[in-house]
Amino acid sequence: MSGTGRAVHDLPVGRRVAQWRVRRNMTQQQFADRLGKSKSRVDKVERGVRPPERMSHLREVAEALRIDMEVLLAERIGQPDVAVAGVARVRAALARYHVEASPRPPDVAKVRARLDHAEQSYRHARYPILLGLLPGLLDAAREARVARPGRVADELLVSAYGLVALVLVKVGQGELAWLAADRGMTVALARDEARLAAVATVPLCQALRAVGRRRSAMDAAVVAARRLPPCGSAEDALSPGADDAASLHATLLLQAALAAAGRGDERRVPGLLDEAAAVAGQAGAGGGGFGPAAVEAARVVAEAAVGDVRAATVRHERLVRGEQWRWLPPEHRAAYLLDVARAHALAGDLPRAGRALLDAERTAHSEVHARPAARDLVAAVARHAADPAGLARLAATLRV
C-alpha cells in the first residue's frame, strides 16, 4: 500500500515504477543509469508525462527493478468465478421446464421494463451484470406468459430467450446459447407470425455461427428474411414498428452474409450485403443504431473472412472516420473491432491487431474482459515485443 492507502493495483504505471525504485533504494539518477536513459526521462515516466510506449520498454524497466512485468501492469480484476457462477445460474433457469401459475403473477409491463433495461445493458456490453439479471428475468417472462397468455407475453418471452442466447454467445457458451435461442424459436413458431419468427432467428443465427454451423445460420436467416413483408409494401406499412421491421430485415441479411463469408461462400456474400444495404436505406433504418455503418462493418468482416484483408483495411479506415460509426452501440463497435483485430493478426500485422484490441477495450470494457475469444486473441498478439505497451497491461490484467 502507498502512503495514501491506495492499493498498488489502483496506481498508474509511473507511480508503481516510482514505488519500486524507492523499495530498491535507488535514486532517479541511479535508476536512469541502469536503464541507460536520462534522469529527466525517468522523472517523466514516473510522473506519467511520458509512460513507456512498448512492451520492450516495460520489460527493460521491470528487469532494472528486478520484478515481474505483470507487477507494473496488472489492474484489479474481478474473480473469474463470477462469470462461471452466472452461467451456472442461467443454465439452471433454462433447466426449469415447468412454470407454475403464481398467486401474484408478475406485471407484464414491469417485466417489459426489466427487459428493456437488460437490452440496454447488452448494448453497452455489461455481460457480468447481465449474467446476474437474466435468470430472474427469464423466470418472470415465463411466469407472465403462464398468467396472461397471448401475443404480448409471447413477444416478451421470445425477446428474453433471445437476449439470454446473445449473452451466452459472448461468454463462450455457444451450445447453451443455441438451446436458449431454440426455446425462443419454439415460442415464436407457435404463433405462426413471420415478424416474431424473424426476431427469434437473429439470436439463433448468432448461436449457430458460434458453434460452427454457418450453413444452417445462413439458411435460417435467408428464410426468415424472405418471409417478412417487403419493406415499403402495404402489408409492411400497416404493421406496427415499420421502421424496426426494416432494421430487423437488414439484420437478418447481414447475419446471412456473415455466415456465408465464414464458410467461404464468396458467391453469396456480395448479393446479401447489397440487399441489406438497400433495406437499411429504407426510412427509419438509418437510426436507432442501425444503418449504413452496420452494413459497412459487415462488409469489412466479410472481406477479411474471405481473405481480402487489404480491401477490408481500406474500408475499415474509411468507416471509423465517418460520423455514422458513432451511431452504432458500444457493444457493436467493440465486437467489430475484435473482428478487425483478428483479421490483422491472421494477416501478420500484429501492431495493428494490438491497437484494435485496445480500441475495443476502450469502447466496451467487458467485450474484451468477459469474452474467452477476446482473451485468446490478446494472448496471441501480446507475445510480440513490438506491440503497444497498453496491450501488455491488458494481457497482464487478463492473466493470459
400 residues of the chain, pLDDT tens digit each: 333 344 444 467 788 888 888 888 889 899 999 888 898 888 888 887 777 656 667 778 888 888 766 666 654 444 445 577 889 999 999 998 887 767 787 889 999 999 999 999 999 999 999 999 999 999 999 999 988 889 999 999 999 999 999 999 999 999 999 999 999 999 999 998 999 999 999 999 999 999 999 999 999 999 999 999 876 554 444 444 445 888 899 999 999 999 999 998 889 999 999 999 998 877 444 444 567 899 999 999 999 998 888 899 999 999 999 888 998 999 999 999 999 999 998 888 888 999 999 999 999 999 999 998 898 899 888 876 565 667 888 888 887 7
Backbone dihedral angles phi then psi of residue 388, each to the nearest 5 degrees:
-60, 145
Alpha carbons within 13 A on the beta-carbon side of 274:
5
Domains of the chain, by residue range, sit at: 8-73, 80-211, 212-327, 329-400
120 contacts: CB under 8 Å, gap ≥ 6: none
The domain over range 8-73 is classified in CATH as 3.60.150.10: no
Confirm if 380 and 388 have CB atoms less than 8 A apart. Answer: no
- Amino acid in position 259: A
Backbone dihedral angles phi then psi of residue 190, each to the nearest 5 degrees:
-65, -25
The DSSP line for 105-150 is PPPHHHHHHHHHHHHHHHHTT-HHHHHHHHHHHHHHHHHHHHHS-S
Cell of 251: 439484420
What pLDDT shows up at residue 53?
57
d(CA 146, CA 100): 8
CATH number for region 80-211: 1.25.40
pTM of the model: 0.78
Sign of CA dihedral 291, 294, 300, 301: negative
Alpha carbons within 13 A on the beta-carbon side of 325:
15
Residue closest to 159 by CA, chosen among 124, 120, 203: 203
- CB-based burial label for 315 (10 Å; 0-12, 13-18, 19+): middle
What letter would DSSP give residue 25? T
d(CA 89, CA 134): 9
d(CA 273, CA 236): 21
